[in-house]
Structure 1
């Protein structure tokens, strides 16, 4: 549970790696990892955006940055009555100032997202999809249409005597997500919604958000995307009970299109099919898509042979070497 030590394979088909060993350490807290990086106890680290400016000042490492295959999101559990209405989910996104999140929490180090695909991908939609830019007035209007108003004057919306209140869970040790949860709480309060952050140890969070527990209202998480763009496992309704669709999203049109895409072998046809899929998902807002964020990798100043890959932190590692000069 502390580290995995890898040794060079003399018989590797691509030639013996230049480095004799690589030790991958388990560090559950990013603050501890940054401290170890500064002290020289670790040499390579994927730096959270919140620590980027700090790590840049370290004399013992250099930082390489680029956009990653990823996005952050808030998933609304549609098994819960609160989130079954599409208007409510749209209103929640309208109530979130996602650009402010990028500017304040990421220090400008990201880009607002509208779909579950990275701009790096060839499958990123070329035509316009429905967007829900920050508009608290519009959020309140949609919530009112859905029956949510402040009937008792306590500052929070209610419907049929029930307050619009829920927990938003995220994983412990991820400083960006912990900070974001507080920002989301503040922003939703402006439209009369009580969102209560709950920070949970990661393994416990996975247990709570999987079968048979399903113990959550909303999730503040992120996806690291595959190099081949296929959204079936996340958004097809068949993947709810035991798959990755743990917010119980269901749209028969999306299901049908995802199934049809599975049999397409032509890239242009595949992309055209996904343009329809992304428009429907963006309209439904099963997630409030927050942002794409850059990857920052800190490494020794004398590391040579490193090539950036948006998915693989240790890409081409057999060609890495340390310049002793």
Structure 2
């Protein structure tokens, strides 16, 4: 039984998603070859400082240019299609996945085989390897390679989210990595010095914190890429990337919603807009005693005027989130709307004894969002919370620093009592599980706030185990109810996301995907006009 259609139905609607193939807007002839430069990791999450896809929480737009997964979303994020797997089938009991592999080679000329898939999945399941997929792949019972072109994955129980997880697991070369001990692989120099993949471009150079250069892979199974080189530039802040785009130094970058108006009327650029599928939230570190009383967490929701922030700072390009979802089919009737009510917030804080618990002592709120928009959002939150007696102090850091703090296995939980962050809630609704389920507490997963709420975990487990697509939405509505009632996060909004590309690009596809994808961008077709 081939479940491509079934799994497509599980994906959230892509009606709001904009993935535009861009053609030359000035009639210029296309250059043969050429170099395309972009700020592909600028934006939410930013440059991780690590090119290891097993540890990546963002940056897939770039990683997928030289690494590839077995399966991948199409550029509308509407269905899952083959990548390194030509075809796949799922058994009737949804416990056996059979992949027929494409015939291709690694960038060093060695053949890609089923043994590489088995090696990659075993490594991705290994917590010692620093893999963010360890818990998500915990249901994998075995990975077999009956021949070079066939992989059979057997699960201990059905897992409707398995294909979605596999879109993010980039295949790795056994012959290049097997000799490195698992506990050393997470931050090994290989990732930034000599990585090899199967994708349309080959890794050639990394200048620390400045750029990565890739060269066309002439042996790519999809044909030699149209461009000779891809360069990914890194910038200290998004404003520098926008300046480089305007000057022609780069041809693409992510932009905030408040930058869109400066490009939308300029024929030299194309604006790409779509749903981010990311819920932004204020997260409460559950190992910090301040947040044990639900009334204090509720006070955050009532104290922040989300509608005002959405209108004044996002220009209306966001939807308020009252749970971890905003998609209509996942949000049940009757949940608390948490409308702006500072007096109610004050009352709840008084009932909880906030003055004795903390009072006006400053509380750090950690974030990896460093754009001017994020700075303004946090300033607005700070002012609103101060009105009810909560004193937050924003601390914005780069992504490597943020990850080193929140994923620490020991140390002071007070290093981040609060966070302002985002986590994808689509295109498959199961994605939110990694940040909320008790089973996903690091090192197993990304539950960095150490949330241990039985109602939330039980609802997620039930949704993840639901094999009937017709009942899936109802299960995730239960997740919405649990997060709305328990408030592991103070959910803020789901915003649109924007990219701007030079009109000189042809056949360029960028999708505002959570964490940068991955998705089917056909990078080998990208070209640039003279």
Q: TM class by shorter-chain length?
A: 0.7 to 0.9
Work out which of the residue numbers 342, 347, 355 in structure 2 matches 1:141: 347
User: How many residue pairs were aligned?
Assistant: 313
Question: Which residue of structure 2 lines up, in the alignment, with residue 178 of structure 1?
Answer: 375
Distance in 1, Cα, partners of 2:236 & 2:507 = 28
Question: Normalising to structure 2: TM-score of the pair?
Answer: 0.55
**Structure 1 stretches of 5 or more lacking a match?**
149-157
Residues 1:205 and 1:48: Cα distance change in structure 2 (over 3 Å): same
Distance in 1, Cα, partners of 2:497 & 2:245 = 17
Question: Which residue of structure 1 lines up, in the alignment, with residue 254 of structure 2?
Answer: 46
**Structure 2 stretches of 5 or more lacking a match?**
1-207
Distance in 2, Cα, partners of 1:79 & 1:281 = 18
Distance in 1, Cα, partners of 2:465 & 2:437 = 15
Between 308-317 and 36-45, report the one with greater CA deviation: 308-317
Distance in 1, Cα, partners of 2:404 & 2:267 = 41
The yes-or-no answer on 1:240 pairing with 2:441 is: yes
Q: Deviations over 1:88-143 (max 9, x none)?
A: 10111110011111122222222212222353xx9633544322111112111211
Question: Which residue of structure 1 lines up, in the alignment, with residue 384 of structure 2?
Answer: 187
Give the superposition deviation at 1:221. Answer: 1.4
Residues 1:238 and 1:16: Cα distance change in structure 2 (over 3 Å): same
Specify the SS of the correspondent of 2:495: strand
Between 195-204 and 179-188, report the one with greater CA deviation: 195-204
Q: CA RMSD in A?
A: 2.4
Q: Deviations over 1:277-325 (max 9, x none)?
A: 110111111111111111211111133324453424872333333355x
Distance in 2, Cα, partners of 1:297 & 1:270 = 32
Indicate conservation of the 8 Å contact 2:300/2:490, yes or no: yes
Specify the SS of the correspondent of 1:139: helix
Between 216-225 and 171-180, report the one with greater CA deviation: 171-180
Between 220-229 and 289-298, report the one with greater CA deviation: 220-229
Distance in 1, Cα, partners of 2:314 & 2:338 = 20
Between 247-256 and 222-231, report the one with greater CA deviation: 222-231
The yes-or-no answer on 1:66 pairing with 2:311 is: no
Distance in 1, Cα, partners of 2:277 & 2:342 = 30
Give the superposition deviation at 1:275. Answer: 1.0
Indicate conservation of the 8 Å contact 2:255/2:500, yes or no: yes
The yes-or-no answer on 1:229 pairing with 2:435 is: no
Structure scoring higher RCO (CA < 8 A, sep ≥ 6) equals: 1
Stretches (4+) displaced over 6 A: none
Q: How does 1:57-136 map onto structure 2 within 5 Å? A: 60-117=268-325, 119=327, 124-136=330-342
